[in-house]
Amino acid sequence: MESPVNNIDWCPFISTVFASCTKDGRIEIRDLNEFAQTAVITWERPKDWGQPPKTIPDKPTPVD
């Protein structure tokens, strides 16, 4: 996945850990002591993010 990084922030307690957020909405946490090239944790924005919620009718309409 290639997307520009918008921001990174270093962990205040562990000098090898940082988080990044990308333009496509992905958040990654990396630990340089563990995996320099691979994120330890990745969260991706759902595809329907920002869409209005789907509504379900209260009661079904009876059919005659």
Who's near 16: CB < 8 A, 6+ residues apart?
Answer: 31, 32, 33
> By mean pLDDT, which of 14-18, 28-32, 41-45 is the weakest?
41-45
Using the predicted structure, report yes or no on whether residue 34 has a pLDDT greater than 70. Answer: yes
Residue-level pLDDT at 19: 94
Task: Retrieve residue 27's tokens.
Answer: 């958040």
Q: Of the spans 11-15, 40-44, 59-63, which averages the highest pLDDT?
A: 11-15
pLDDT at 53: 65
pLDDT tens-digit map of 45-61? 877 777 766 776 666 66
**Residue 64 and residue 61: Cα distance in Å, rounded?**
10
pLDDT at 15: 93
- Cα–Cα distance measured from residue 54 to residue 25, given in angstroms and rounded to the nearest whole number: 22
